[in-house]
Structure 1
């Protein structure tokens, strides 16, 4: 069994090693297999023989040799299947030399941009990022997203095949494409974090391994691009949100609303780091959506109590965010802020308008917010129905139990 220290080191080195191998030899799909075998070899030999003086170079050398073997095997298969008159294989199939000098460069960002290529679906981008950059196995990713390992393996294989077929060179994309590709990277990291922090299905409210991995990967991007304010904003948003994780679930794993959380259990270190990041990013120009969401999270986290929350400031930030983001979840959160500042009926009016938006009309969050606001107005009968409607629409078992419990408190037995 690999010790945690070795696992952490290998996970940190994995994308740098894969990036180096792909940059030198190409063959992304085969290189990824070769790197996985090198990581397995390290996990087996390092605890026994000791960590080499240059772990990255060791892994690149082993992966390069394994890549050579894999490509030569493929060449042999091609010879058997295709009789070529000249007997010469296309240059693209020539196996690389495994003894090229190792260049000390970090290709993690290029690798992330490749994994998040717009030609891939979001699901494929997430799976490939967690596999190639995060170093997670197909089984680990499958468990995190509650799908069979065979399904996740096929998804990853198709994504690698798509990249191989595209003929994309391994390198930084042209300046004209860079902003779009970076936006895709940040979006994928954001999706991974959200699935970890608030699981959309399954028995647990959160999957800590996913939220932790997304923060780790975002830290890498921030280290490589510290001047990008939206990268800083996303990292700040993750830290400020994750800082509440210990207080947001009860003894049985049930969700605890923010207003009822024990704020002494919030992570003060993460809050301080997140506030510093967003305070540095905001003055650099017109803020993007991640910066604005981080600013909202900072207002929540810096309030000493729920009653002391500066809701007018939060409302103002949401109104700026709405102007640059056509996102129904943002609109729903804006409705909550309106209710906190102007009263529940004003918030309910906005929620009523959102019920006409097909993107969120059947989302359990809309019905849960509506239920809460109806309860604030004293309309318990309508609130009960809304809580039940929300419970029927969520696939998270903990959320479902919580919503049924809220309905039961208003006089309806849990179904």
Structure 2
């Protein structure tokens, strides 16, 4: 059974049902039933037209369900439209499905969950495992999202920017359970890139490729975090870096700069440096300046303070940091790093300990705790 094929067909089958008039929630349930039936039947009797087979079975499941509910009389006319089994329509409405799953009426977490279920073809259990929540909790989240979208049709153009933000949220979840969400986000973004000719779509794909290329070096064998400057760069995926840089260069050549292209340019400069010491921090600061103009995001300015600290010295970085809100995520950790670079180990140790207390993840907390302990040991010695 080719699970990748099933997952790749899921969005197009779902969009066919919605185009024919099925409510999103009912259509999604019918498609899931068809996928289960495919897992049962295909190993012994694989279809010549997998998409056509799924469309036919899903549509029949939808009709069976609608005949049985209280709306039977209103929906019975749909029965007359049941297609004769055969090749599925060639039209690809996958992008419209992305738009629907990233609808602004949904919360970010609901949009991500629904995208993984409806477009990614993941089961509720897989999504729950990836987000480390009970399956029942995730099922409720997905059900609420589908109810929110009840009755909506593909009658308006969607917002590509919203779709990209949802995909970036998926990517940043990384890996947990048996689903690699970073790899899944890259797969889904490739789909969007094939449907939308826009440099920001390419920029997001390049950004994902460049970040994902460093993944093998991000953790030590014991699972602890390895900072960028200390990573073994020979473990970076050079093929993924080359692809990401090529995608980025083609996007930048169109002279329509956007947030994801600027972030990808920063990632490319890190990837291009043979060693941490050879990183072109001056150019990275310039890209952060561009990014700040595009987003006016305080987190961007926080990261820019780190880059200024590397390019112009830690005191310059601390001066940039002083102008920012101390409640920003990672602010205290950045302050600790810059104070250490400036030679103030006592302040740095105290700030690392404080940052560890505020850390949201276990790996980050442990890393910051080790940094504080290391500096306290040096001071004691």
Give the equivalent residue in structure 2 for 1:183.
161
Partner Cα distance (2:109, 2:12) in 1: 23
**Contact residue 126 and residue 178 of structure 2 kept, 8 A:** no
TM-score normalised by the chain length of structure 1: 0.87
Give the equivalent residue in structure 1 for 2:49.
54
Report the CA distance between 1:95 and its aligned residue.
4.7
**Contact residue 126 and residue 179 of structure 2 kept, 8 A:** no
Q: Relative to structure 2, which stretch is displaced further, 145-154 or 183-192?
A: 145-154
Residues 170 and 96 from structure 1, CA distance in 2 versus in 1: closer, same or farther, beyond 3 angstroms?
A: farther
Question: Is 1:146 the counterpart of 2:132 in the alignment?
Answer: yes
Q: Aligned match of 2:306 in 318, 322, 336? A: 336
Residues 119 and 263 from structure 1, CA distance in 2 versus in 1: closer, same or farther, beyond 3 angstroms?
A: same
Report the CA distance between 1:395 and its aligned residue.
2.4
Deviations, residues 248-269 of structure 1 (Å, cap 9, x unaligned): 1101111111111111111111
Give the equivalent residue in structure 2 for 1:107.
93
Q: Aligned match of 2:359 in 394, 398, 406? A: 394
Give the equivalent residue in structure 1 for 2:371.
406
**Contact residue 95 and residue 192 of structure 2 kept, 8 A:** yes
**Contact residue 216 and residue 236 of structure 2 kept, 8 A:** yes
Superposition RMSD on alpha carbons, in Å? 1.9
Q: Aligned match of 1:16 in 6, 9, 12? A: 12
Give the equivalent residue in structure 2 for 1:45.
41
Q: Secondary structure at the match of 2:274?
A: coil
Q: Relative to structure 2, which stretch is displaced further, 243-252 or 38-47?
A: 38-47
**Contact residue 236 and residue 278 of structure 1 kept, 8 A:** yes
Partner Cα distance (2:125, 2:109) in 1: 16
Deviations, residues 337-391 of structure 1 (Å, cap 9, x unaligned): 10011110111122222234x5x1xx2x221111111111111111111111111
Alignment of 1:212-251 (within 5 A): 212-225=183-196, 227-251=197-221
Partner Cα distance (2:146, 2:243) in 1: 36
Partner Cα distance (1:386, 1:24) in 2: 59
Question: Is 1:209 the counterpart of 2:180 in the alignment?
Answer: yes
**Contact residue 67 and residue 75 of structure 2 kept, 8 A:** no
What stretches of structure 1 of length at least 5 have no aligned partner? Answer: 80-88, 198-203
Report the CA distance between 1:99 and its aligned residue.
2.1
Question: Is 1:133 the counterpart of 2:128 in the alignment?
Answer: no
Give the equivalent residue in structure 2 for 1:201.
none
Partner Cα distance (2:76, 2:104) in 1: 25
Partner Cα distance (2:68, 2:180) in 1: 36
Q: Secondary structure at the match of 1:230?
A: helix
Structure 1 stretches of 4+ moved >4 Å: 91-96
Q: Aligned match of 1:268 in 216, 233, 238? A: 238
Q: Aligned match of 1:71 in 66, 71, 88? A: 66
Q: Relative to structure 2, which stretch is displaced further, 95-104 or 65-74?
A: 95-104
Give the equivalent residue in structure 2 for 1:120.
106
Residues 63 and 208 from structure 1, CA distance in 2 versus in 1: closer, same or farther, beyond 3 angstroms?
A: closer
Report the CA distance between 1:97 and its aligned residue.
3.4
Residues 366 and 98 from structure 1, CA distance in 2 versus in 1: closer, same or farther, beyond 3 angstroms?
A: same
Q: Aligned match of 1:97 in 47, 66, 81? A: 81
Aligned length: 376
Q: Aligned match of 1:252 in 203, 222, 226? A: 222
Deviations, residues 277-329 of structure 1 (Å, cap 9, x unaligned): 11000121230000000011111101111111111111100011111112122
Residues 90 and 207 from structure 1, CA distance in 2 versus in 1: closer, same or farther, beyond 3 angstroms?
A: closer
Q: Secondary structure at the match of 1:395?
A: coil
Residues 26 and 208 from structure 1, CA distance in 2 versus in 1: closer, same or farther, beyond 3 angstroms?
A: closer
Report the CA distance between 1:399 and its aligned residue.
1.1
Partner Cα distance (1:96, 1:18) in 2: 20
What stretches of structure 2 of length at least 5 have no aligned partner? Answer: none
